[in-house]
Amino acid sequence: MSTARQQQSNTAGTMETPRPRALTILTVVTVVALVIGLYLALIYVPPEATQGEVQRLFYIHMPAFFGAFLAFGATVLGGIQYLRTRQIKWDTLAVAGVEVGLALAVVNLATGSVWARPIWNTWWTWDPRLTSAAVMALTYAAYLMLRAGIENPDTRRRFASVYGIIAIVTVIFTLVIIRIVPETLHPVVIGPSPVNAEGTFEATDNTALALLPNLVIWGALLPVTLMWHRIRLQNLAERVNARKMTVLGK
C-alpha cells in the first residue's frame, strides 16, 4: 500500500512543473506590498473628518474594483484569443480572470456594504452604482455556472469565450453609471460631482499616500499574481485530466 502511494505521489510530482522564479518573486513582493498597503490604509493615515474610521475602507473598496476590472479585461483578451486560435491557454487565462475578478468584486461589494451601514444607516440600498456592481458580480458568477453546465470541452470554451467578452459591458457600465445617472448616493471622487448627488468625500491628510499604493497593489499586483497562480493550477488540472483519460483508454 505504501509503495502504491509513493508511486502516485511521484506521478503527481512529475505532472507539476516547477514554479517560475519570477512568480515566486512576484508573490513575495505582492504579500509584502499588501501588508504595507493595509498598514497605510488602516493605521497610518488619519481618519476622515466626518466619516471617521470607517472611511478607511475606501482605500480597499475602490482599488479592489479596479483590480476586478483588470482581471475581467484579461477574460476578454483570453476569450478573443481563444476564438481566434483555439489554443487552450487563452481559455485558461479567461477562467483565471473571471475567478480572480469575481473575488475582488465581492471584496468591493462587501467593503461598500460595511461602509454604508454607519454612513447611510443601511447595509444595502438599490442605488444605481450598488445595483450595477451586484449585477456585474452575478453576471460573472453565471459565467462559472455556464462552464460547469457544458460537458463538451470545446463547446464549453467557445460559449464561455463569447460570454466573457460580452460580460465586460457590465463592468464598463458600473464604472460610468454615476456620470450618466444623476440619481445616485455615490460620490464622484474624481472630477465634478452631479449637482443632485448626495454624499461627499473630504480628503484627509496623506490620502494619496494610502490610496495610490493600494491602487497599484489591489489594482495590478494582486490580480496578476493570483491569476498566474490560478493559471498554473488550471494547467495542472488539465494534465491530470489528460492522464486520467489515458489510463481509462478514452
Q: Are 66 and 172 in contact (CB under 8 A)?
A: no
Closest CA to 142 of 126, 164, 172: 164
Helices (H) and strands (E) in the chain, counts: 8, 0
Q: What are the pLDDT tens digits along the chain (250 aa)?
A: 444 444 444 444 455 678 889 999 999 999 999 999 999 999 888 877 777 788 888 899 999 999 999 999 999 999 999 999 999 999 999 999 999 999 999 999 999 888 888 877 888 888 777 888 999 999 999 999 999 999 898 999 999 999 999 999 999 988 887 666 666 555 554 444 444 434 444 555 567 788 899 999 999 999 999 999 999 999 988 888 778 777 877 5
- pTM tops 0.85: no
Q: Are 140 and 105 in contact (CB under 8 A)?
A: yes
Instruction: Name residues whose C-beta falls within 8 Å of residue 175's C-beta, 6 or more positions apart in sequence.
Output: 65, 69
CA distance 162 to 158: 7
CA distance 70 to 105: 11
Give the tens place of pLDDT for each residue, 29-43.
999 999 999 999 998
Instruction: Name residues whose C-beta falls within 8 Å of residue 59's C-beta, 6 or more positions apart in sequence.
Output: 37, 40, 41, 42, 45, 210, 211, 214
Check residue 203 and report its DSSP letter: -
Q: Are 218 and 67 in contact (CB under 8 A)?
A: yes
What pLDDT is stored for residue 53 in this prediction? 83
What pLDDT is stored for residue 15 in this prediction? 58
What pLDDT is stored for residue 134 in this prediction? 93
Q: Are 189 and 162 in contact (CB under 8 A)?
A: no
Instruction: Name residues whose C-beta falls within 8 Å of residue 61's C-beta, 6 or more positions apart in sequence.
Output: 108, 111, 112, 115
Instruction: Name residues whose C-beta falls within 8 Å of residue 41's C-beta, 6 or more positions apart in sequence.
Output: 56, 59, 60, 210, 214
Q: Helix, strand, or coil here: 52?
A: strand
Give the tens place of pLDDT for each residue, 158-183.
999 999 999 999 999 888 876 666 66
CB atoms within 10 A of CB 56: 23
